[in-house]
Protein backbone atom coordinates (compact mmCIF):
# COMPACT_ATOMS: atom_id res chain seq x y z
CA UNK A 1 0.00 0.00 0.00
CA UNK A 2 1.15 3.51 -0.70
CA UNK A 3 0.56 6.58 1.37
CA UNK A 4 1.22 10.27 0.80
CA UNK A 5 1.28 12.76 3.66
CA UNK A 6 1.08 16.50 3.22
CA UNK A 7 1.21 18.04 6.67
CA UNK A 8 0.54 21.66 5.70
CA UNK A 9 -3.17 22.26 5.07
CA UNK A 10 -2.44 25.90 4.25
CA UNK A 11 0.59 28.06 3.54
CA UNK A 12 1.14 31.75 2.94
CA UNK A 13 4.03 33.24 1.01
CA UNK A 14 4.95 36.76 0.03
CA UNK A 15 5.04 37.48 -3.67
CA UNK A 16 8.53 36.96 -5.18
CA UNK A 17 9.62 34.79 -2.23
CA UNK A 18 10.36 31.07 -2.45
CA UNK A 19 8.15 28.51 -0.73
CA UNK A 20 8.51 24.82 0.09
CA UNK A 21 5.52 22.50 0.20
CA UNK A 22 6.15 19.33 2.16
CA UNK A 23 5.40 15.81 1.04
CA UNK A 24 6.39 12.52 2.62
CA UNK A 25 5.50 9.13 1.28
CA UNK A 26 5.42 5.53 2.31
CA UNK A 27 5.76 2.57 0.00
CA UNK A 28 7.28 -0.89 -0.10
CA UNK A 29 8.01 -0.58 -3.82
CA UNK A 30 11.63 -0.26 -4.85
CA UNK A 31 10.72 1.66 -7.97
CA UNK A 32 8.14 4.43 -7.99
CA UNK A 33 7.34 7.85 -9.35
CA UNK A 34 6.44 11.03 -7.49
CA UNK A 35 4.30 13.76 -9.00
CA UNK A 36 3.06 17.22 -8.09
CA UNK A 37 -0.16 18.68 -9.40
CA UNK A 38 -1.62 22.17 -9.05
CA UNK A 39 -5.34 22.82 -8.77
CA UNK A 40 -6.30 26.48 -9.08
CA UNK A 41 -9.69 27.76 -7.97
CA UNK A 42 -10.99 27.10 -11.49
CA UNK A 43 -10.74 23.40 -10.65
CA UNK A 44 -8.53 21.81 -13.29
CA UNK A 45 -5.62 19.57 -12.32
CA UNK A 46 -2.33 20.72 -13.81
CA UNK A 47 0.74 18.48 -13.83
CA UNK A 48 3.82 20.32 -12.57
CA UNK A 49 6.77 18.02 -12.06
CA UNK A 50 7.87 14.39 -11.81
CA UNK A 51 10.65 12.57 -9.96
CA UNK A 52 11.57 8.93 -10.45
CA UNK A 53 12.84 6.99 -7.47
CA UNK A 54 16.06 6.12 -9.30
CA UNK A 55 16.70 9.62 -10.59
CA UNK A 56 19.93 10.88 -9.08
CA UNK A 57 19.25 14.52 -9.73
CA UNK A 58 16.36 16.53 -8.36
CA UNK A 59 13.78 17.36 -11.00
CA UNK A 60 13.33 20.96 -12.10
CA UNK A 61 10.73 22.59 -14.34
CA UNK A 62 11.04 26.33 -14.63
CA UNK A 63 10.28 27.84 -11.21
CA UNK A 64 9.42 24.42 -9.78
CA UNK A 65 11.93 22.06 -8.31
CA UNK A 66 11.51 18.88 -6.37
CA UNK A 67 13.69 18.35 -3.32
CA UNK A 68 13.91 14.57 -3.30
CA UNK A 69 15.38 12.90 -0.22
CA UNK A 70 14.96 9.19 -0.72
CA UNK A 71 16.25 8.08 2.67
CA UNK A 72 13.78 10.39 4.37
CA UNK A 73 11.03 9.46 1.90
CA UNK A 74 10.32 13.07 1.18
CA UNK A 75 9.58 14.85 -2.07
CA UNK A 76 9.08 18.50 -1.28
CA UNK A 77 8.06 20.99 -3.95
CA UNK A 78 9.96 24.26 -4.07
CA UNK A 79 8.43 27.18 -5.92
CA UNK A 80 10.85 30.04 -6.50
CA UNK A 81 9.86 33.68 -7.03
CA UNK A 82 6.19 33.13 -6.12
CA UNK A 83 3.58 34.82 -8.26
CA UNK A 84 -0.03 35.67 -7.48
CA UNK A 85 -1.07 33.03 -10.01
CA UNK A 86 0.61 30.38 -7.88
CA UNK A 87 -2.24 30.63 -5.37
CA UNK A 88 -3.86 27.19 -5.59
CA UNK A 89 -4.13 23.75 -4.03
CA UNK A 90 -1.04 21.61 -4.54
CA UNK A 91 -1.19 17.84 -4.48
CA UNK A 92 1.66 15.40 -4.10
CA UNK A 93 1.05 11.96 -5.60
CA UNK A 94 2.88 8.74 -6.22
CA UNK A 95 2.66 5.67 -8.38
CA UNK A 96 4.44 2.38 -7.77
CA UNK A 97 6.15 0.35 -10.45
CA UNK A 98 3.62 -1.68 -12.35
CA UNK A 99 0.79 0.28 -10.80
CA UNK A 100 -1.63 2.32 -12.82
CA UNK A 101 -3.18 4.49 -10.18
CA UNK A 102 -1.95 7.66 -8.53
CA UNK A 103 -2.22 7.89 -4.76
CA UNK A 104 -2.74 11.48 -3.70
CA UNK A 105 -2.04 13.41 -0.54
CA UNK A 106 -4.67 15.66 0.98
CA UNK A 107 -3.18 18.76 -0.58
CA UNK A 108 -1.77 22.09 0.59
CA UNK A 109 -3.55 25.34 -0.11
CA UNK A 110 -0.99 27.98 -1.04
CA UNK A 111 -1.88 31.64 -0.87
CA UNK A 112 0.48 34.21 -2.35
CA UNK A 113 0.27 37.61 -0.72
CA UNK A 114 1.02 40.75 -2.77
CA UNK B 1 -7.29 21.24 -28.95
CA UNK B 2 -8.55 19.91 -25.65
CA UNK B 3 -6.50 16.89 -24.56
CA UNK B 4 -8.96 15.33 -22.11
CA UNK B 5 -12.53 16.54 -22.25
CA UNK B 6 -15.51 15.77 -20.06
CA UNK B 7 -19.17 16.49 -20.47
CA UNK B 8 -21.06 17.89 -18.78
CA UNK B 9 -19.03 20.29 -16.66
CA UNK B 10 -21.87 20.70 -14.18
CA UNK B 11 -24.60 18.21 -13.39
CA UNK B 12 -27.43 18.91 -10.96
CA UNK B 13 -29.94 16.16 -10.43
CA UNK B 14 -32.40 14.65 -7.99
CA UNK B 15 -31.78 11.68 -5.74
CA UNK B 16 -32.67 8.42 -7.37
CA UNK B 17 -31.94 9.53 -10.93
CA UNK B 18 -29.49 7.85 -13.30
CA UNK B 19 -26.84 9.98 -15.00
CA UNK B 20 -23.78 9.61 -17.19
CA UNK B 21 -20.56 11.56 -17.53
CA UNK B 22 -18.61 11.27 -20.76
CA UNK B 23 -14.86 11.47 -21.19
CA UNK B 24 -12.75 11.59 -24.31
CA UNK B 25 -9.01 11.94 -24.81
CA UNK B 26 -7.23 12.78 -28.05
CA UNK B 27 -3.71 12.07 -26.79
CA UNK B 28 -3.52 8.51 -28.06
CA UNK B 29 -3.08 7.21 -24.52
CA UNK B 30 -3.67 3.58 -23.57
CA UNK B 31 -4.99 4.09 -20.09
CA UNK B 32 -7.90 6.12 -18.73
CA UNK B 33 -9.09 6.74 -15.20
CA UNK B 34 -11.94 8.08 -13.11
CA UNK B 35 -11.18 9.89 -9.88
CA UNK B 36 -13.57 11.32 -7.31
CA UNK B 37 -12.72 14.52 -5.42
CA UNK B 38 -14.79 14.99 -2.30
CA UNK B 39 -15.78 18.21 -0.55
CA UNK B 40 -12.48 18.20 1.37
CA UNK B 41 -10.58 18.08 -1.93
CA UNK B 42 -9.37 14.53 -1.42
CA UNK B 43 -8.80 12.70 -4.71
CA UNK B 44 -9.36 8.98 -4.90
CA UNK B 45 -9.12 6.56 -7.79
CA UNK B 46 -12.35 4.84 -8.76
CA UNK B 47 -11.62 2.96 -11.98
CA UNK B 48 -8.94 2.51 -14.55
CA UNK B 49 -9.08 1.03 -18.03
CA UNK B 50 -6.12 -0.04 -20.12
CA UNK B 51 -6.84 -0.70 -23.78
CA UNK B 52 -10.54 -0.94 -23.00
CA UNK B 53 -10.01 -3.48 -20.22
CA UNK B 54 -10.84 -2.76 -16.60
CA UNK B 55 -7.66 -2.91 -14.49
CA UNK B 56 -8.59 -0.99 -11.35
CA UNK B 57 -11.93 -1.20 -9.65
CA UNK B 58 -11.69 0.33 -6.23
CA UNK B 59 -14.30 -0.13 -3.58
CA UNK B 60 -17.07 1.93 -5.06
CA UNK B 61 -20.79 1.10 -4.96
CA UNK B 62 -21.89 -1.02 -7.90
CA UNK B 63 -24.25 1.80 -8.80
CA UNK B 64 -21.17 3.21 -10.55
CA UNK B 65 -20.36 1.53 -13.83
CA UNK B 66 -17.61 2.59 -16.20
CA UNK B 67 -17.83 1.84 -19.90
CA UNK B 68 -15.05 2.10 -22.43
CA UNK B 69 -16.31 1.76 -26.00
CA UNK B 70 -12.79 2.41 -27.34
CA UNK B 71 -9.36 3.52 -26.13
CA UNK B 72 -10.24 7.19 -26.45
CA UNK B 73 -13.43 7.12 -24.39
CA UNK B 74 -14.27 6.20 -20.84
CA UNK B 75 -17.75 7.02 -19.63
CA UNK B 76 -19.12 6.82 -16.11
CA UNK B 77 -22.70 5.83 -15.50
CA UNK B 78 -24.26 6.26 -12.07
CA UNK B 79 -27.54 4.63 -11.10
CA UNK B 80 -29.88 5.63 -8.28
CA UNK B 81 -27.93 8.73 -7.32
CA UNK B 82 -27.53 9.50 -3.62
CA UNK B 83 -26.71 12.70 -1.76
CA UNK B 84 -23.25 11.35 -0.93
CA UNK B 85 -22.41 11.05 -4.61
CA UNK B 86 -22.11 14.83 -4.80
CA UNK B 87 -18.48 15.51 -5.71
CA UNK B 88 -16.23 16.50 -8.57
CA UNK B 89 -15.42 13.62 -10.90
CA UNK B 90 -12.22 13.77 -12.91
CA UNK B 91 -11.35 11.75 -15.92
CA UNK B 92 -7.64 11.31 -16.69
CA UNK B 93 -5.46 9.52 -19.20
CA UNK B 94 -1.85 8.44 -19.53
CA UNK B 95 0.42 6.21 -21.50
CA UNK B 96 0.95 2.91 -19.77
CA UNK B 97 4.03 2.84 -17.52
CA UNK B 98 4.75 4.11 -14.07
CA UNK B 99 6.62 7.20 -15.11
CA UNK B 100 4.09 8.87 -17.30
CA UNK B 101 2.07 11.69 -15.88
CA UNK B 102 -1.67 11.56 -15.99
CA UNK B 103 -3.48 14.29 -17.85
CA UNK B 104 -6.73 15.33 -16.24
CA UNK B 105 -9.97 16.54 -17.72
CA UNK B 106 -11.62 19.70 -16.41
CA UNK B 107 -13.83 17.79 -13.98
CA UNK B 108 -17.58 17.36 -13.67
CA UNK B 109 -19.21 18.86 -10.60
CA UNK B 110 -22.10 16.58 -9.66
CA UNK B 111 -24.68 17.91 -7.23
CA UNK B 112 -27.39 15.56 -6.00
CA UNK B 113 -30.40 17.26 -4.41
Q: How sure is the predictor about B37, in pLDDT bands with cuts at 50, 70 and 90?
A: very high
User: Mean pLDDT, to the nearest integer, of B79-85?
Assistant: 96
Write out residues 7-46 of A within 8 Å (CB-CB) of B: 31-33, 35, 37, 39, 43-46
**Inter-chain CB proximity B56 and A100 less than 8 Å:** yes
Dist CA A81 CA A64 (whole Å): 10
Answer whether residue A53 shows pLDDT above 70. yes
Mutate to test the interface with A, among B98, B103, B111 (most CBs of A within 10 A): B98
Dist CA B91 CA B36 (whole Å): 9
Q: How sure is the predictor about A50, in pLDDT bands with cuts at 50, 70 and 90?
A: very high
Q: What average pLDDT does chain B have?
A: 92
Strand segments, DSSP code E, in A8-87 are 10-14, 19-21, 24-26, 32-39, 46-52, 60-61, 64-69, 74-79
The 10s digit of each residue's pLDDT in B51-78 is 888 887 777 899 999 999 999 999 999 9
Which residues fall within 8 angstroms of residue B50, CB to CB, at 6 or more apart? A100, B30, B31, B96
The 10s digit of each residue's pLDDT in A55-106 is 889 999 999 999 999 999 999 999 999 999 999 999 999 998 777 788 999 9
Q: Chain B residues with CB-CB distance to A under 8 A?
A: 31, 33, 40-45, 48, 50, 55-56, 88, 90, 92, 96, 98-99, 101-104, 106-107, 109
The closest of A5, A98, A103 to B58, measured between CA atoms, is A103
Q: How sure is the predictor about B97, in pLDDT bands with cuts at 50, 70 and 90?
A: low
Question: Per the omega criterion (within 30 degrees of 0), is the bond before A68 cis?
Answer: no
Dist CA A84 CA A26 (whole Å): 32
Q: How sure is the predictor about A38, in pLDDT bands with cuts at 50, 70 and 90?
A: very high
Tell whether A52 lies on the interface with B, counting CB pairs under 8 A. Answer: yes
Give the dihedral sign, CA B53/B56/B62/B63: negative
Answer whether residue B102 shows pLDDT above 80. yes
The closest of A45, A53, A49 to A107, measured between CA atoms, is A45
**Inter-chain CB proximity B33 and A97 less than 8 Å:** no
Q: Which residues of A touch B99 (CB under 8 A)?
A: 33, 50, 52
Amino acid sequence: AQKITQTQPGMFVQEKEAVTLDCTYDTSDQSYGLFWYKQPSSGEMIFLIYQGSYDEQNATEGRYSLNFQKARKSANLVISASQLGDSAMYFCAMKGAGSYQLTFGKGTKLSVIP
Amino acid sequence: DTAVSQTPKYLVTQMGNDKSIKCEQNLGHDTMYWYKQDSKKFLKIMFSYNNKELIINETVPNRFSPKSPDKAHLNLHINSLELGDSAVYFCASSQAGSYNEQFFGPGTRLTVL
